[in-house]
């Protein structure tokens, strides 16, 4: 009696079997490894893109405050000086908004905070040279962060720094004013910045005038040629 043969599960398709390692129900190990590597590569390529997107979202949530101050200011000795400072913010002015004024004396490399304003209250420094002389002169709702300093002295020569924060707008380039205290009656009529502006405006105006004259002469010449022709 002949023994009945059954197909072995380990036979390859080339040998006529339908085993698990080469049959219709499963792919080859090489193909599976290639597919896994491709998927991992795609995930790796997406990771930098996710980092960039997260960075953009973070930057969008933290924007900047633009602070504007005059570059220079001259005041007479013994008089009150107003230090102008305005700002622009994309956020609504809230109770968390604050203003800090600092002073850097001539020849010094460090600055000292002497005035702080927040939530409708002013906090003048008590251990600085501006004790009892500085006062609030601004209005945050109008985006004005100016202050007054009474009885200006020669020792007050230096750079005054205005720093404004309006969370979440906290990235700020502070405004700086170089203040020069002069004798009474010696206040210059024109500051160096104003003189420079007038000079630049004069040069631009002269250039426009020359261009206008050239255009008029050119048009006259063309009109004469057209008439004679």
DSSP 161: E
Q: Which CATH superfamily is domain 64-192 in?
A: Immunoglobulins (2.60.40.10)
User: CA–CA separation, 101 vs 95, rounded Å?
Assistant: 18
How do residues 24-39 score in pLDDT, each as one tens digit?
Answer: 445 555 555 555 545 5
Per-residue burial over 30-47, b = 16 or more CB atoms within 10 Å of its CB, e = otherwise: eeeeeeeeeeeeeeeeee
Per the prediction, the chain carries an average pLDDT of 77
User: CA–CA separation, 14 vs 37, rounded Å?
Assistant: 28
How do residues 159-213 score in pLDDT, each as one tens digit?
Answer: 999 999 999 988 889 999 999 999 988 666 655 555 456 668 777 888 888 898 8
When pLDDT is cut at 50, 70 and 90, the band that residue 136 belongs to is very high
- CB-count burial class (<10 Å; 0-12, 13-18, 19+) for 159: middle
How do residues 82-108 score in pLDDT, each as one tens digit?
Answer: 999 999 998 999 999 999 999 999 999
User: CA–CA separation, 165 vs 87, rounded Å?
Assistant: 10
- CB-count burial class (<10 Å; 0-12, 13-18, 19+) for 166: buried
Neighbours of 69 (CB within 10 A): 21
When pLDDT is cut at 50, 70 and 90, the band that residue 1 belongs to is very low
Contact 78, 181 (CB under 8 A): no
In percent, the amount of the chain with pLDDT more than 90 equals 48
Tokens of 71: 């570059």
Tokens of 74: 């001259």
pTM: 0.59
Q: Does position 147 have pLDDT exceeding 70, yes or no?
A: yes
Residues in the chain: 229
Stretch 53-81: mean pLDDT, rounded?
A: 76
Q: Does position 109 have pLDDT exceeding 50, yes or no?
A: yes
Q: Which residue has the higher pLDDT, 45 or 200?
A: 200
Contact 173, 67 (CB under 8 A): yes
pLDDT on residue 118? 96
Using alpha carbons, list the distances in angstroms from residue 144 to 37, 68, 184: 60, 10, 28
Domain ranges (residues) in the chain: 64-192
């Amino acid at each position: 009696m002949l023994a009945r043969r059954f197909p072995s599960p380990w036979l390859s398709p080339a040998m006529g079997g339908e085993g698990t390692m080469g049959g219709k129900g499963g792919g080859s190990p090489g193909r599976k490894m290639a597919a896994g590597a491709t998927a991992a590569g795609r995930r790796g390529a997406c990771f930098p893109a996710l980092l960039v997107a997260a960075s953009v979202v973070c930057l969008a949530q933290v924007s900047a405050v633009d602070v504007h101050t005059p570059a220079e200011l001259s005041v007479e000795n013994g008089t009150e000086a107003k230090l102008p400072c305005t700002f622009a913010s994309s956020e609504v002015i809230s109770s968390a908004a604050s203003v800090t004024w600092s002073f850097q004396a001539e020849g010094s490399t460090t600055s000292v905070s002497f005035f702080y304003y927040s939530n409708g209250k002013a906090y003048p420094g008590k251990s600085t040279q501006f004790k009892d002389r500085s006062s609030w002169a601004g209005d945050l709702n109008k985006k004005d962060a100016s202050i007054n300093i009474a009885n200006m002295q020669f020792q007050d020569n230096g750079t005054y720094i205005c720093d404004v924060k309006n969370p979440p707008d906290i990235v700020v380039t502070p405004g700086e004013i170089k203040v020069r205290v002069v004798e009474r009656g010696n206040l210059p009529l024109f500051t160096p910045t104003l003189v420079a502006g007038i000079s630049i405006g004069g040069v631009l105006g002269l250039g426009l005038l020359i261009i206008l004259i050239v255009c008029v002469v050119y048009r006259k010449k063309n009109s004469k040629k057209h008439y004679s022709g």
